[in-house]
Amino acid sequence: MPRVKKPAASSSPPENEPNAHCFGSHLSIAGGMRHALVEALRLRCRTVQVFVKNQRQWRATPFKPEDLERWHALLETAGFGPPVAHATYLINLASPDPALFAKSVAAFTEELRRCETLRIPYLVVHPGAAVGAPVEQAVRRVAKALNRIFDANPDLTVMPLLETTAGQGSTLGSTFEQLGEILHAVEQPGRVGVCIDTCHVFAAGYDIRDSEQYQAMIRLADRELGLERIRCWHLNDSKGELGSRLDRHEHIGKGRIGSAGFRNVIADTRFRGLPMILETPKGEDSRGREWDRLNLARLRSIATRAARQ
């Protein structure tokens, strides 16, 4: 689709973040894809994360031409991007059920293609769940799914990002060693990246509040994955304790991680410029203040303090 000339901006431009931090939030596409970008610009975000279809359904409805046109125009806003997408939670690339595995591969392929249409370079996906099968087999199934998708779509440029998980139940991806096992089994590993979620790694047992333990986690990620594979962060505080394996997100600075953990991430110049996405609870507080705006303000404050140190 040809690029559309950007119309006069109707929203505020992205905020000039300290040290070029690319903060954003996961925002709703209800009523059309463009609404997420309109809201992101209103919040003065520099990036956004979206679902590219109704995340409660397997079926994907075609994009409306006028919605795509507006999306692409807003995407040209100076200082904005790159945007990120998140795969629907129905997908399980590790499923031992042949029918669900095939359905998941087809659905994930469709979402990658939709990202291509939207010019979204990254699609975050949970590695999946073993659902009673041996973990080793589940790891191989995820790699098999990615290999099948890449073989069938050699020109696809969108990069799947395997997300770190909290380790609930039989979910894969709670350790960097396990993510590394998946990547080592992918025949075209350069086409796959990783998204680190702060709540998830904390709940999985990585204490990012402590600067030395944070650095130890990053060294482990470098050894098992390579830091160049880390393309996105999800910045969420945690309702659960360290190592609780509880996947419950909390507002920035209001959970068990606290400001120190986010300071360690934000101050790390190796990840400067990468999308850093909020997936914190939405809505308003008891005084009518927007949580997205509050959480973004907290991240910006932490970034400003880190820059002064």
Active site residue 245: no
34, 234, 256, 263: the active-site residue = 234
Active site residue 214: no
26, 35, 200, 256: the active-site residue = 200
34, 249, 263, 298: the active-site residue = 249
17, 111, 237, 247: the active-site residue = 247
56, 59, 287, 308: the active-site residue = 56
279, 293, 300, 305: the active-site residue = 279
Cα angle: 14, vertex 299, 283; to 5 degrees: 80
Cα–Cα distance between 27 and 282 in angstroms, integer? 9
21, 35, 86, 263: the active-site residue = 86
Active site residue 89: yes
Active site residue 72: no
21, 46, 122, 163: the active-site residue = 163
Q: What contacts 106, CB < 8 A, 6 or more positions away?
A: none
Query: Pairing mode, if any, of strands 275-278 and 22-26?
Result: parallel
Active site residue 126: yes
Burial class (CB in 10 A: 0-12, 13-18, 19+), 156: middle
> By the 8 A CB rule, do 145 and 182 touch?
no
Active site residue 292: no
Active site residue 21: no
Which backbone phi and psi does 47 adopt, to 5 degrees? -155, 175
| Cis omega (within 30 of 0) for bond into 82 | yes
197, 224, 237, 292: the active-site residue = 197
Q: If residue 103 lies in a helix (H) or strand (E), which one and from where to where?
A: helix 98-118
Helix 98-118 to helix 135-152 angle (10° resolution) is: 50
44, 46, 70, 126: the active-site residue = 126
Q: Which residues are catalytic?
A: 56, 86, 89, 126, 163, 197, 200, 234, 247, 249, 279
